A and B are shown apart, each in its own frame.
Chain A
Amino acid sequence: MSKALALTGNGACAFAMRQINPDVVAAYPITPQTTIVEEFSSYVADGLVDTELICVESEHSAMSSCIGASAAGVRVMTATSSQGLALMWEMLYIASGLRLPIVMHNVNRTLSAPINIHCDHSDSMGARDSGWIQIYSENAQEAYDNTIQAVRIAEDPKVRLPVMVLLDGFVISHAIDRVEVIDDEVVKSFIGDFKPIYPLLDWENPVTVGSFDGLYGYFFETKRMQAEVMERAKMVIKKVGNDYGKVSGRSYGFFEAYRLDDAEVGIIVLGSTAGTAKVVVDNLRDKGIPVGLLKLRVFRPFPLVEIVEALNHLKALAVLDRADSIGSFGGPLFTEIRSSLYDLSMRPLVVNYIYGLGGRDIDELQIMKVFSDLQDIQETGQAKKAINYLGVRE
């Protein structure tokens, strides 16, 4: 049995955390993540969870505490945003290198300067090489659903990697949405019990965690294994997405292909902008224009084969990046998508639109403009400009 509630994105994340009932949460408040931990701490105060809530003095300490607790052998969650994620930086790599299945919300917010508390994906995109699984959400419902799936994915014995659940700051985190929640008992049995493999708290079997590789030299092997496990995680993400459909009626894959199969031009986007883009796709389809959308959900591991299969029939493709990679050629999503299509003999022309930095609004008109550019590209067979900035004053 599921029921519908009116929840903010952050409220939905906190609600899922209550149902998950993690053993340890160590977190530090930062806008726009704050209300996740605020609401969760009221669950702790009300005795609705058994969680040990550690109020640390910084995000560096938050992730450090999570690493310690996870290595000790318990289920651990946290949440952050922006500068907070940046402050966790060195610990992110340690969590993944030690294969600790920590689940963390990152409520996407840009990085200073200038100081700005609004959404873009600069924070999580910067962490894309840290060895964490990254799952993006389009709305509060997906943020809720992704949270519950993240626990199963992270803790799967074939995976054991930390997972970041991403949701757009304010657009999702603070807007009230209709969210269908599943029963506490269903969540409990869906995620099962956490079974640690080498827990530090097992006195009978003492282990060393985080040893120095220096003179023995197995660092490279460790990274190679992480790459292997990331690859393996794809299978698990797929299975968990299917199984989740059985208990909730909402199944998930690596991405959502929206009216894409018979489209001639398309756009690819992460997060909440997909909602706006769907409206534009529908409007253009009503006029008989064959456009489509690919909303990427799982960015790490990057679902290469499936993405190429979904996009290869297009004539022109626009990649929308809510983050720039200054000094590179285009945003992070663009470079990866374009590179993934390179091996095809016939491939779509691919252009990049960097948009919405620091929370700059993206509206239907801007997306219409992208589609009309794509139609030009399709007609002329060439892209005038590969990298474009959408919605900036120029």
Chain B
Amino acid sequence: MKWDIRKIKEWKFYEHPQGITIPEAGNAHYYPTGSWRSQRPEINWDKCTHCLFCFIYCPDSSIIVKGEKVVGIDLAHCKGCGVCAEECPKQAIEMLKERV
């Protein structure tokens, strides 16, 4: 990557791309929003039909899908918003309090 934004804190003022644009996509991956979480989604595999609604709705792309099936949650990025639990048509996702 030409612009590795993991080093953005070290850039001098004249090293930033013009207009503080972030000129490459996909770098949210480097930013572990999981540390914000106060509650954690847990999937009840008996109820889940793999409809992928949660995958579509998750604002942080934290529902891990393999071969068209939900296989887990990327807890490094899941910020615990609860959108997946709200949208799941089978009430298969429960939000559990995160232990400190």
Contact = CB atoms under 8 A, between A and B. Distances in A.
A363 interface: no
A98 B21 CA distance: 8
A209 B22 CA distance: 7
A99 B19 contact: yes
Contacts, number: 58
Interface in A200-224: 205-209, 211, 213, 216-218, 220-222, 224
Nearest to A215: B31
B17 interface: yes
B18 A221 contact: no
A228 interface: yes
A218 B16 CA distance: 9
Contact of A198 (B5, B8, B13, B19): B19
A100 B11 CA distance: 22
A152 interface: no
Given A98-B19, A160-B19, A225 B11 contact: no
16 contacts: A97-B20, A98-B21, A99-B18, A100-B19, A160-B18, A198-B17, A198-B18, A198-B19, A207-B24, A213-B20, A218-B11, A218-B16, A221-B11, A221-B13, A222-B16, A228-B14
A197 interface: yes
Contacts of B13: 220-222, 224-225, 228
Contact of B9 (A100, A211, A216, A228): A216
B23 interface: yes
Given A218-B9, A221-B11, A198 B21 contact: yes
Interface residues of B, number: 17
Contacts of B22: 207-209, 211
A217 B9 contact: yes
Given A198-B21, A224-B13, 19 more contacts: A98-B20, A100-B19, A198-B19, A198-B23, A205-B23, A207-B23, A207-B24, A208-B21, A208-B25, A209-B21, A211-B22, A216-B9, A218-B8, A218-B9, A218-B16, A221-B16, A222-B13, A222-B16, A228-B14
Contacts of A160: 18-19
Contacts of B11: 218, 221
Interface of B: 5, 8-9, 11-14, 16-25
Contacts of B24: 206-207
Interface in A109-139: none
Interface of A: 97-100, 160, 197-198, 205-209, 211, 213, 216-218, 220-222, 224-225, 228
A206 B25 contact: yes
Given A216-B8, A217-B9, A218-B8, A225 B16 contact: yes
A236 to B, nearest CB: 15
B91 to A, nearest CB: 33
A166 B16 CA distance: 31
A209 B24 CA distance: 11
Name the residue in B8, B17, B19 with the highest tally of chain A Cβ atoms < 10 Å from its Cβ. B19
A352 to B, nearest CB: 35
Nearest first, the 5 closest Cβ-Cβ pairs linking A and B are A99-B19, A221-B13, A208-B22, A206-B25, A224-B13
A66 to B, nearest CB: 14
A160 B24 CA distance: 20
A221 B19 contact: no
Contacts of A207: 21-25
Nearest to B23: A207
Q: Counting chain B CB atoms within 10 Å of each CB, which of A208, A216, A222 scores highest?
A: A208
B32 to A, nearest CB: 11
Contacts of B16: 218, 221-222, 225
A158 B1 CA distance: 25
Contacts of B9: 216-218
B12 A221 contact: yes
Contacts of A208: 21-22, 25
A216 B14 CA distance: 16
A87 to B, nearest CB: 24
A209 B19 CA distance: 8
A204 B24 CA distance: 10
B88 to A, nearest CB: 29
Contacts of B18: 99, 160, 197-198
